[in-house]
Amino acid sequence: MSAAATEASHRLSFANVTKWYGSVCALLDVSFEVGREVVGLVGKNGVGKSTLMKLAVGLLAPSQGEVRVGEHSAGTRAARAAIGFCPDFDRLYEPLSGATFVAWMLRYHGVGASTARSRAIEVLTELGLGSDMHRPIREYSKGMRQRVRLGQALAHRPRFVLLDEPMTGLDPVARAELSQRIRALPEQGVGVLVSSHVLHELEAVVDRVVLVHQGRVLADGRIGELRERLPERPHRLRIRGARLRGIAAHLTGWREVEGVAIRDGALEVALTGDSEFYDRLTRFAADWPGGIEELVPLDDDLASVFGYLVE
Amino acid sequence: MASSIGAMLESARQTLVMLRYRRTWWWALPGLAGLFALAYAAGLRAPERVAGADMFCVFAWWSLSSVVVPWVAVFLGVQAVHGELEDRTAQYLFLRPVSRAALLFGKWLAVAMVSSAISVGAAAVIYAGVGAHAARWPDGGEPELLYAFGETVIFGAIAYTSVAMLFGAAFRRPLVWSAFFVVGLQLVAANLPVSAGLRRLTITDPMRRMVLDRIEPSPRLARMLWPAEREFSYDDIGAPVQNLVWFTLVGLLVAVVCYARAEYDSRSRD
């Protein structure tokens, strides 16, 4: 297989996808791709994130456009074999143990009974379920159930993993663990599409984000790049240090600074995007008598970018 | 990817295990015990002139064809198909690289096996309950009656299971539709003339013709088993097995079409 063909087989692509539910348009002309990376699907509840995922795994069919999993159309057997999906609902085969459930699902991938069992144990061990994997699922906590859902998505070693609101219901420790596992997947050649409406959770995990609003893709790119695409929006910066009024007086003379205000013992600066500004500010901070304790960008995070775009 | 036959057998195995987890035997075994007690009590209380064979046939026909066979098959079948669709665990199966037809055939196979076993067991306990009264069987037991009913309830259970698959896959309230079919449609059809086309849409009618064909009843027994038909004739029996097989195949085919439809996960279901 040529390098181009190999790369194509590692692309999950949505091409001009539109989805109607009766007279309601859930998605309109959506196009983006997922390679061997972690892509965050970001949007408020009900904007079509889950619909996009279900289109990719073949549980829904697009009204227009095409979803391809590598070289296969979504929903075909070959496409389903290449995808693992962790849905957002919390239902499993309650009387079964986690290991049995994952092994049962593996059997449909043509895996023999004993191999399926050992692979299920292996993947659930990696996910930290430990000896609990042999207890009935109905006795599991939310975090343990989430591990089982993730296990059934990963056990058949898919090329793409789709995670629909995977952090929901998890405690902070479990969220951190899951974030690490998601981050590690691209190193194993797995492309990940992960949705969440809790933006700060995604920020540390994703390589790229696709912002969805009212069924359309608002933006697609790295968070920093997206912020740079909003020059009309002044950046905001928080500065803590000695003699804030002096700093304010100094900064107001800079052409990039649009405004300054002191709030809650810190100086907030509004400025137009200019990479040189930060170099100058760094030098200024180093020379400032009494020192500067903190320089924090207030709106370079995903939530701010998303908020600006939606507005 | 698993082969279709392999997927079907795996689906059947998993369905059987889930039926076991759902404690099917917990209610099936007491149910069979209760049926034995009823048959035994009926044997005690019936007038002395009623022969054991007639009594078994009437008791077995009405209890099995009206209650046990349809409701066991429908209940288990709906549970196997509709329960997973309603709680959305079927999505885990639909994500796998196997055809949904193979999944559904597997479920049908498992439910048909279990409902057939329970139905044959029910026929056997009724036979045992009535047969316990030796005075009613002056010529000794007639096991061929049990074979006839056993054969009939197996075909019936298989056909009802296909109905359960269809209703479970197609409707949001499959048990209501099943009640309409089992009680409503079949009760109406049972009282129609033999020539009525509506009878072809039922399972009871070919089951009844199959029983009559196998047991060779007296005119009196035939009237008890087939009240709508005053002049019982073997010409009216037709080909009941063929009818049941066709019913099963058509029911299963439509069930597969419904089960395999592209979009199960509608927004309203969410």
Tell me: the pLDDT tens digits for B38-97? Answer: 999 998 888 878 888 889 999 999 999 989 999 999 999 999 999 888 888 999 999 999
Give me the torsion for CA of A70, A72, A77, A81, rounded to 10°. Answer: 0
**Domain A1-82+158-221 belongs to what topology?**
Rossmann fold (3.40.50)
Q: In this predicted model, what pLDDT tens digit does every residue of B182-199 receive, in sequence order?
A: 888 887 887 777 777 777
**Phi, psi of A283, deg, nearest 5:** -65, -40
- Comparing alpha-carbon positions, the chain B residue that sits nearest to A51 is B267
- Indicate whether A1 pLDDT > 60: no
Minimal CA separation from B255 to chain A, in Å:
18
0.90 surpassed by pTM? no
The pLDDT assigned to A118 comes to: 96
**Domain A231-298 belongs to what topology?**
Alpha-Beta Plaits (3.30.70)
- Indicate yes or no: CB of A59 within 8 angstroms of CB of B95: yes
Question: Which SS3 state, helix, strand or coil, does residue B142 take?
Answer: coil
ipTM > 0.90? no
- Indicate whether B267 pLDDT > 60: no
The pLDDT assigned to A229 comes to: 65
Mean of pLDDT values over A100-116: 95
| Chain A interface test: which of B20, B86, B92 (most A C-beta within 10 Å) | B92
Q: In this predicted model, what pLDDT tens digit does every residue of A113-164 receive, in sequence order?
A: 999 999 999 999 988 888 899 999 999 988 889 999 999 999 999 999 999 9
- Indicate yes or no: CB of A61 within 8 angstroms of CB of B262: yes
Q: How confident is the model at residue B164 (pLDDT cuts 50, 70, 90)?
A: very high
Which residues in chain A have Cβ-Cβ distances shorter than 8 Å to B263?
Answer: 59-61
Q: How confident is the model at residue A112 (pLDDT cuts 50, 70, 90)?
A: very high
Which residues in chain A have Cβ-Cβ distances shorter than 8 Å to B99?
Answer: 77
Q: Under a CB-based contact definition with an 8 Å cutoff, are residues A82 and A159 in contact? A: yes
- Indicate whether B135 pLDDT > 70: yes
Closest CA to A204 of A172, A230, A236: A172
Domain A1-82+158-221 and domain A231-298 have a common topology: no
Which residues in chain A have Cβ-Cβ distances shorter than 8 Å to B23?
Answer: none
| Domains in chain A: boundaries | 1-82+158-221, 90-151, 231-298
**Higher pLDDT among residues B98 and B199, named by residue:** B98
B262 touches chain A (CB under 8 A): yes
Which residues in chain A have Cβ-Cβ distances shorter than 8 Å to B92?
Answer: 92, 105, 152
The pLDDT assigned to A162 comes to: 96
- Comparing alpha-carbon positions, the chain A residue that sits nearest to B93 is A105
Residue A130 DSSP one-character state: G
Contacts of A74 (CB under 8 A, 6+ apart): A55, A56, A57, A58, A66, A67, A68
The pLDDT assigned to B117 comes to: 96
Which residues in chain B have Cβ-Cβ distances shorter than 8 Å to A78?
Answer: 1, 97
- Indicate yes or no: CB of B6 within 8 angstroms of CB of A59: no
Q: Under a CB-based contact definition with an 8 Å cutoff, are residues A193 and A56 in contact? A: yes
Point out the residue among B7, B18, B264 whose CB comes nearest to the CB of A108: B7
Mean of pLDDT values over B125-133: 92
* C-alpha to C-alpha distance for B236 and B213, rounded to whole angstroms: 10
